[in-house]
Amino acid sequence: MAVEHTKPIPSPIGENKPKIDARVKSTGAAIYADDIQFGNNLLYARIKRSPHPHARILSVDTSKAATVPGVKAVVTGDDYPGYIGLYLQDRTIFCRDKVRYVGDPVAGVAAISEEIAEKALDSIKIEYELLDPVLDPEFGAGPNAPLLHPDLGHYEVANFIIPKPGTNISNHFKIRKGNVETAWKQCTAIIERKYRIPHIQHVPIEPHVAIAQVEQSGEITLWGSSQSPFAQRNLIAKALGISQSDMRVIAPYVGGGFGSKAGVSMESLAVAIAMKVPGRPIKLLLTREEEFYTAFVRQGLVSYYKMGCDESGKILAMENTFYWDAGAYTEYGVNITRASGYSSSGPYEVPNIKTDSYCVYTNHPVGGPMRGFGMPEMHAGLEQCIDELALKLQIDPVKFREINCLKTGSILVTGSKMHATGLPECLQKTAEAIRWGQDSPPSSPNKRRGKGIALMWKAPAMPPNAGSSAWIELAEDGYITVGVGGQDLGQGAFTVAAQMAAAALGVPYEWARVATPVDTRYSPYEWQTVASRLTWSMGNAIVNAAQDARRQILDIAAEAWNEDADNLDVVNGVVISYKTERELPLENLVVYGLPKDDDQGWIGGPIIGRGNFMPTYVTGLDPETGQGERAVVHYTTGAQAVDVEVDLVTGRVDVIKGAAAFDVGKAINPDLVKAQMEGGFIQGMSSALFECLQLKDGVLQNPSFVDYRIATSTDIPDEIQTIIVEVPQDDGPWGARGIGEHAMVPTIPAIANAIYAAVGVRLEGPPFTSEKIYLAMQDAGIVS
Amino acid sequence: MINPYPGLPEFEYVKPASLKEASDFLHQHKNSACPFLGGTDVFVRLRDRLSRENYLVDIKRLEGLNNISYDPERGLTIGAAVNMNKVIVSPEINSHYPILVEACRSVASYQLRNRATIAGNICNASPAGDTIGACLLLDAKLSINGVNGKRVVSLQEFFIAPGETILGPGDIVTSIHFPVPRPGTQGKYVKLGRNKLSDLAIVGVTVIGYPNNDLRSGYQIKIALASVAPVPLVVNQVEELLSTSAIDENIISDAAEIAMKVSSPIDDIRASARYRKIMVRNLSQTTLQSVWTELTEHSDNLEQSIKTSRRN
Amino acid sequence: MAIHRIFPTINGELEQVDVPSNMTLLKMLREKMAFTGTKNGCSAGECGACTVLLNNEPVNSCLVLAVECDGADIVTIEGLAQDGKLALVQEAIIKSGGVQCGFCTPGVLINTMALLDRNPNPSDSQIREALVGNLCRCTGYIRIIDSVKKTAQMLKAERSELWQ
């Protein structure tokens, strides 16, 4: 199904084409969901949310709300009994009997203005019976914790998720490979550490927004800032008990996703409210404050690592326990537990490994997919332990990683074999780029300088049968339109879609358009825009569609010219014969067909190519051992290094320089790949130095930009070197695999390792704020 | 649970034509009206449901509020409505009161500084106010228009508690006055935030010093601290120490220790009291040292040029 | 709540708008007048996505009342390109790859215009300082800063005004 890699790479694959959407975005003409004009018919929704982390709902009195002038609908959980969820259906659209986190939606109002809706919310009276909350995942996993989901055993669940009913553990993933107990005895050095990674949030600059309209006939239209129109249609339809075909999702430009706009979070609320006011569109727009804690957050992690190696530095064993603070509902987060479990060796060959990864319900905001899907949280501690192990044996951390990192053919933690990988090349090039081994001088006597490095790996985490499809249509001018279901979140998915379609069909890049916005009524199915899967999966579908169109075109020309289709080609928008050198521009053929030679009739018709791609080779994993023949479709691997400076007066950490190398298989658009490496580095750096959702008794203390700090233009390093490594993926288009998430994965441990090199302190977890670093240095006697 | 409105709550916008009209209106509607200049504090408070005024009184265009005037005999007057970016580019303020420029530059962002004002910073009375320390150390005085006429109040007497000042209903700060600066004045504002720029002050240190031959040390050096006490804190004990003893590195260290002891920061979501106290010491140390170096370098130059001019 | 009739000039055109007292300039632009290019990221003056020029100076329009803009001169992102021809800042950001999701882009471009207006040849640190009030989550700022430098170069080469 994949394009052969032996053929020469056709244009514009590998070229830095400017983004297809850059112009419309830079003129203000790009339409995002909140920009769509709905006219006077539009109603505004606001949500009444639980102020308690854990409570039983005793009564909900909405009687006054309905009488406020301008209020058109009031909705509670009583109206919607259906469960919803991606991998585990553990939540209802509105709370019905319990609230499980501060922010949990209890009631909704639609009114002619947001102000009137707020007034109506103020009049809704809810009586709660407070329940003891679970605020720590280790405690939550234990026997004394209150039970957050007594019905866990009755929830519909995907067959690769293993919940423990009667507990707060909604997924327990295990790796049992080899024998760690005997292996410890052979280890010369062992490191045991605990790390605590706090919750953070995606902080898309565009908050979540959804507009829903339900017709009298029951048909639903949902407009939204969405990474996953098809998944949203599927999940919401199921929860409402309607047919997927009776729901339409339209997804205009997205102002940043990072995973927050995947799956279903607040969109179902808009639909539920809209059902009460048929014929009128209802808009729900989250405030920035709500964005911080009521949609998705990145779950917290308490992780225990133990790893040991022999005297030559070869890792012999690892033992990991992960307690994921997954929040009130884990319908999506259960797979993060699994993904981290089957990746728990890090990008290393480890013969003996025991992992227990627990997804734990807590009365915290809902953990969902965030760039990296568990990999940043897991690598944060793991890559520090790798450094510590190396340093214990006095082996250089780069050398230690050279010894142990995955190579082509390595045996993986799940027992599968590593495909062709450029990880060693990524490591070597990154170390070179940061000038590993040469200490940079500090910029003043009050500063200390240090370098750190970290590796990563990640596979697209998704069901084994997540599919893509595409169509290609040609117009009278010979230009092509590519239909896709994947979304451009800014990463450039539409641009590379156009590049791949043009290359596979044989037309100039400028002839390729993408059919936007993605609209489930017209766009072809795409599982979700997550997992860094589009270039690979959607790309394969596009290539198949283009080849399908090509075949149709060449068959028509072959018949019209009485030639063998094998001697024909489409080059630069022209059908040519290698045999007779006959030529015909595409525009002459793709809509009206060609006349027969004897003028007695026609051949062909409007060309429409279609293609799909779904991996068929992922096997399951044994629920007891986590072993299986093929756990995932593939891995992207890479390395990041940093050169940091620590200020001894304030404890501030400055990242002076960064370097990164990732094996992307084939960079369809190298500039876009580099842009991901840059943006991911900075987002990773921001999570390492500044970011933390400060939860106290389940209440978020800092839900605003004032006190949730992210990197600004003044915080970034002087220079980030980004290096593309290309070891082709056997079933990727021209060898391509993903990059979007991977660039954020190794940054926390790279910085942590550099801080240790500079001043000799390590913290229990990020963010490495000035205060935490200074006080750690003070406790260690480095400063007074 | 922090729960701001999506937008601003309902209120009436009032634009009085004169100071008298403004003060009278504010007095008449005490508890339900407040004046605003740039609105960067007032609007945020309203949206956050921290206050609930029915009337917002726009005083930006009133007489005398938009001028910057400098007189070498009388000093500097900055109208209350002059935004911080205007302060930053003013030639007179740069020449004679550069510490005000430095303090303004540290505030938020360029966009916000087009609306934010020093007077607003003062009236908001946050202990974290970036420009307040400089104003205190420069002996600023506030011109206030009230229902009973105008009066002048020293900034030293202005603050009562976080968010609370001596302003009563109907009072409007119209301008801030700074006396003529002493010859040889050096100053520095150091602000520690969580980001490199644009954050609130976790700890802020303002130091101003100038030669003063009436003092044993020959220099008058003053220090003000932000975010470490309920109100912006002037540490008189430091001024005392640095005026009576010959100044060297050790005395500066002692001064920093005193500043640390006198400060009383709290634990909050931005930082801990423990860290803030140490930062008071460390940053007072470096800031005092820096100003001291500037003072001695410049006074050397001053002496040199006096000697040179005498020779000629 | 009173409705005020105001006469702002927006992107060179004199307009008449009726606005309630509590309507922000941002809301007026987006909801009353369909200038949806200016974005709402936080409603609190922190993210800069709502930046417009008010009397030639960039402000967070979420913290300006519409009623304050009677007689004011406002420029939004829609006012940068003239007759289909992109402004230099727009060309530069496209070329530099500084547009990913695009949500911060209008605010960034307005702020950049103003920066180059007052300082046609800014240093790296001056650019960073000027842009600190524009939060971007996608690009890491690198190509945005690069585009400002590019624009300064283009300006120098062109020796022409940003505004006609």
DSSP string, C97-132: T--SS-SSHHHHHHHHHHHHHH-SS--HHHHHHHTT
The tens digit of pLDDT for each residue in A12-59 reads 999 999 999 999 999 999 999 999 999 999 999 999 999 999 999 999
Mean per-residue pLDDT, C28-47: 97
Supply the DSSP symbol for A723: E
**ipTM of the predicted structure?**
0.97
- pLDDT value for B302: 67
Contacts of A551 (CB under 8 A, 6+ apart): A565
The tens digit of pLDDT for each residue in A553-578 reads 999 999 999 999 999 999 999 999 99
Mean per-residue pLDDT, A727-737: 97
- CA–CA distance, A678 with A404 (Å, rounded to integer): 27
The rounded mean pLDDT for chain A is: 97
- Residue in B4, B11, B43 closest to C63 by CB: B43
Supply the DSSP symbol for B262: H
In this structure, what token pair is assigned to residue A293? Answer: 């804690």
Supply the DSSP symbol for A643: E
Contacts of A328 (CB under 8 A, 6+ apart): A91, A100, A101, A104, A148, A361, A362, A363, A364, A365, A366
Pick the last residue of a domain from C57, C79, C101. Answer: C79
Known catalytic residue: A319? no
Measured CA angle at A553 (ends A549, A557), to 5 deg: 170
| E-only strand ranges, chain B | 12-14, 33-36, 55-58, 68-71, 75-79, 141-146, 149-154, 159-161, 164-165, 172-178, 186-192, 203-211, 219-226, 233-234
Per-residue pLDDT at C162 exceeds 60: no
Per-residue pLDDT at A7 exceeds 80: no
Residue tagged 């309209």 (tokens): A213
3-state secondary structure string, A380-445?
HHHHHHHHHHHHHCCCCHHHHHHHHECCCCCECCCCCECCCCCHHHHHHHHHHHCCCCCCCCCCCC
> Residue A491: closest CA among chain C residues belongs to which residue?
C100
Question: What is the Cβ-side half-sphere exposure of residue A446, based on CA atoms within 13 angstroms?
Answer: 13
Residue B2: pLDDT band (50, 70, 90) is confident
Q: Is there a contact between A309 and A387 (Cβ–Cβ < 8 Å)?
A: no
CB interface of B with A, residues 83-122, below 8 Å:
none
Same domain, C111 and C148: yes
Same domain, C26 and C75: yes
Same domain, C69 and C128: no
Beta bridge partners, A130, equal: A55
Pick the last residue of a domain from C17, C51, C79. Answer: C79
Per-residue pLDDT at A287 exceeds 80: yes
State what percent of residues in chain A have pLDDT above 70: 99
Inspect the interface and report whether the beta carbons of A288 and C36 lie closer than 8 Å.
no
Beta bridge partners, A129, equal: A56
Pick the last residue of a domain from C56, C79, C102. Answer: C79
Strands A43-49 and A282-285: parallel
Strands B55-58 and B12-14: parallel
Same domain, C49 and C103: no
Inspect the interface and report whether the beta carbons of B109 and C133 lie closer than 8 Å.
yes
Decide if C77 touches A, using CB distance below 8 A: yes
Domains of chain A with CATH codes: 22-30+466-613 (3.30.365.10), 34-131+207-254+261-294 (3.90.1170.50), 297-462+620-779 (3.30.365.10)
Mean per-residue pLDDT, B195-211: 96
Q: Is-above-0.95 flag for pTM? A: yes
- pLDDT value for C161: 57
Buried b (16+ CB within 10 A) or exposed e, B131-163: bbbbbbbbbbbbbbbbeeeeeebebeebbeeeb
Per-residue pLDDT at B309 exceeds 80: no
Measured CA angle at A290 (ends A286, A293), to 5 deg: 135
Same domain, C104 and C129: yes
Per-residue pLDDT at C158 exceeds 90: no
- pLDDT value for B192: 98
Same domain, C155 and C116: yes
Q: Burial level of C125, CB count in 10 A (0-12/13-18/19+)? A: exposed
SS3 A661: strand
The tens digit of pLDDT for each residue in A591-612 reads 999 999 888 999 999 999 999 9
Same domain, C40 and C92: no
Q: Is there a contact between A671 and A16 (Cβ–Cβ < 8 Å)?
A: yes
Decide if B275 touches A, using CB distance below 8 A: yes
The tens digit of pLDDT for each residue in B233-279 reads 999 999 999 999 899 999 999 999 999 999 999 999 999 999 999 99
Per-residue pLDDT at B106 exceeds 60: yes
- pLDDT value for C164: 47
Same domain, C62 and C113: no
Same domain, C74 and C8: yes
Same domain, C107 and C53: no
- pLDDT value for A87: 98
- Residue in C109, C137, C145 closest to A205 by CB: C137
Contacts of A25 (CB under 8 A, 6+ apart): A253, C99, C101, C102, C105
Q: Burial level of A507, CB count in 10 A (0-12/13-18/19+)? A: buried
Strands A695-696 and A300-309: unpaired
Same domain, C100 and C155: yes
Residue B310: pLDDT band (50, 70, 90) is low
In this structure, what token pair is assigned to residue A404? Answer: 């142990």
The tens digit of pLDDT for each residue in A245-277 reads 999 999 999 999 999 999 999 999 999 999 999
Name the domain count of chain C: 2
Question: In what helix (H) or strand (E) does residue A483 lie, and over which residues does it extend?
Answer: strand A480-484
Residue A648 amino acid letter: L
CATH assignment of the domain containing C132? 1.10.150.120
Per-residue pLDDT at A396 exceeds 50: yes
Mean per-residue pLDDT, C22-47: 97
Long-range contact set of residues A550-558: C-beta below 8 Å, sequence gap at least 24 = A550/A504, A550/A505, A550/A506, A550/A609, A552/A604, A552/A607, A552/A609, A553/A586, A553/A589, A553/A590, A553/A607, A556/A589, A556/A593, A556/A594, A556/A603, A556/A604, A557/A584, A557/A589, A557/A594
- pLDDT value for B300: 73
In this structure, what token pair is assigned to residue A14? Answer: 């590998």
Inspect the interface and report whether the beta carbons of B7 and C129 lie closer than 8 Å.
no
- pLDDT value for A551: 97
- pLDDT value for C160: 61
Inspect the interface and report whether the beta carbons of C22 and B111 lie closer than 8 Å.
no
- pLDDT value for B308: 63
- Residue in B3, B269, B271 closest to A694 by CB: B269
Per-residue pLDDT at A110 exceeds 70: yes
The tens digit of pLDDT for each residue in A31-44 reads 999 999 999 999 99
Question: What is the Cβ-side half-sphere exposure of residue A326, based on CA atoms within 13 angstroms?
Answer: 31
Inspect the interface and report whether the beta carbons of C59 and B111 lie closer than 8 Å.
yes
Q: What is the CA radius of gyration of chain A?
A: 27
CATH assignment of the domain containing C45? 3.10.20.30
State what percent of residues in chain B have pLDDT above 70: 96
By C-alpha distance, which of A290, A379, A337, A359 is closest to A766? A379
- What's the domain range around C39? 3-79
Per-residue pLDDT at B312 exceeds 60: no
SS3 A480: strand
Residue A681 amino acid letter: F
- CA–CA distance, C97 with C92 (Å, rounded to integer): 9
Q: Is there a contact between C115 and B114 (Cβ–Cβ < 8 Å)?
A: no
Distance from CA of C130 to the nearest CA of B (A): 6
The tens digit of pLDDT for each residue in A76-104 reads 999 999 999 999 999 999 999 999 999 99
State what percent of residues in chain C have pLDDT above 90: 93
Q: Establish whether the linkage from the previous residue to A517 is cis, with ω within 30° of 0.
A: yes
Catalytic residue among A319, A526, A741, A771: A741
- pLDDT value for A1: 42
The tens digit of pLDDT for each residue in A430-475 reads 999 999 999 999 999 999 999 999 999 999 999 999 999 999 999 9
- CA–CA distance, C142 with A719 (Å, rounded to integer): 9
Q: What is the CA radius of gyration of chain B?
A: 21
Same domain, C55 and C95: no
- CA–CA distance, A546 with A501 (Å, rounded to integer): 6
